[in-house]
Structure 1
């Protein structure tokens, strides 16, 4: 099976890559049979999770939905060092090859055409696992009625700096955290070398 793909940014998210099968001629095609999306998702996950792990990433999410006559397989991966476009392109290709091989050796994973989208989670992803918290050390996070900066993550919990006070929170019963978007204050913004600009003005006036 031939697939075409291109790398790009997922709308509203982090870098992503799409790979699509060629669009079939469906003008006189019969209606597609009903598909158990839950079972199909489990079959796909069993194929791609080892591929993602072998590449050195965590499979953060896998969703399967329908868009007209085509299925959309969305895969989110992440790692401590972050995920770039080149990384996504490589993993996307490896996942695509694994899905092709699985179909060739054991039958169809999906009864129809599908589009594969691979990307990494955005900042709106809830922090639910210890690795999520670890990857956000230094960020401002809201959780359990508190808003503070993550300063340490251990196997048992996280430590937040809330207005200069340290709060140690255990993972048990902590609930999902939410990364807060921070905007740089105007008095902290860097507008370049203002002294240099003044020197240039003085130089022009002296000519």
Structure 2
């Protein structure tokens, strides 16, 4: 969980407020200028791939606002200054760095850097070795140990269908932060069955 240094004391308050809603606190950030402070709270579902709709965000905002009001007029990172509360979700720009991030994005297309394979003797790559290739792939499944990725490569010519490779399992310690790729023709939940169904 990422928090600005001066808002650590808010984490317990906000977490307790959103937990009954099935949400997790991703971050709290106090920004803005004195007299015009903005408290940004980012929340996400703890499990599943569905996003939060506007009604759910409104409910989370009410819960957080009530919890902060009950805490009194002197809040960590804000003091007694007036502030504007903004509650949002991480969105596709959040790097996937934790197992639950990967689970939340099953079915989506991502780009991720993969560490180079071990050397010929099975040992680790020497220090300073070049990183492995960047892979564009769809997340087939994810658990606490690793993720199964289905490589997706562009067609040879414009307009041709993408080429789908065989599923590959990777432990998280070999993956860099992944970025979700925006798809204009379909969302992650609408991934073609053929891109996800192969077992490994």
Task: Give the structure-1-normalised TM-score.
Answer: 0.65
Equivalent pairs, count: 146
Of 61, 71, 94, 1:125 maps to: 94
Does residue 27 of structure 2 align to residue 38 of structure 1? no
Structure 2 distance, partners of 1:131, 1:70, is 34
**Which 4+ residue blocks in structure 1 deviate beyond 3 angstroms?**
none
8 Å Cα contact 2:112-2:175 kept in structure 1 = yes
Alignment RMSD, CA only? 1.9
Task: Give the structure-2-normalised TM-score.
Answer: 0.67
1:1-207 equivalence runs, <5 A = 38-39=5-6, 41-79=7-45, 80=48, 81-103=50-72, 107-109=74-76, 110-111=78-79, 112-144=81-113, 145-162=134-151, 163-184=164-185
> What corresponds to 1:8 in structure 2?
none
Q: Which has the higher helix share?
A: 1
Structure 2 distance, partners of 1:128, 1:152, is 15
**Offset of residue 64 of structure 1:** 1.1
Residues 96 and 165 (structure 1), Cα distance of their counterparts in 2 relative to 1, 3 Å cut? same
Which of the two has higher C-alpha Rg?
Answer: 1
Structure 2 distance, partners of 1:179, 1:93, is 29
Gaps of 5+ in 2: 114-133, 152-163, 187-200
Structure 1 distance, partners of 2:165, 2:183, is 17
Gaps of 5+ in 1: 1-36, 186-207
**Offset of residue 95 of structure 1:** 0.7
Residues 121 and 108 (structure 1), Cα distance of their counterparts in 2 relative to 1, 3 Å cut? closer
> What corresponds to 2:130 in structure 1?
none
Residues 184 and 98 (structure 1), Cα distance of their counterparts in 2 relative to 1, 3 Å cut? closer
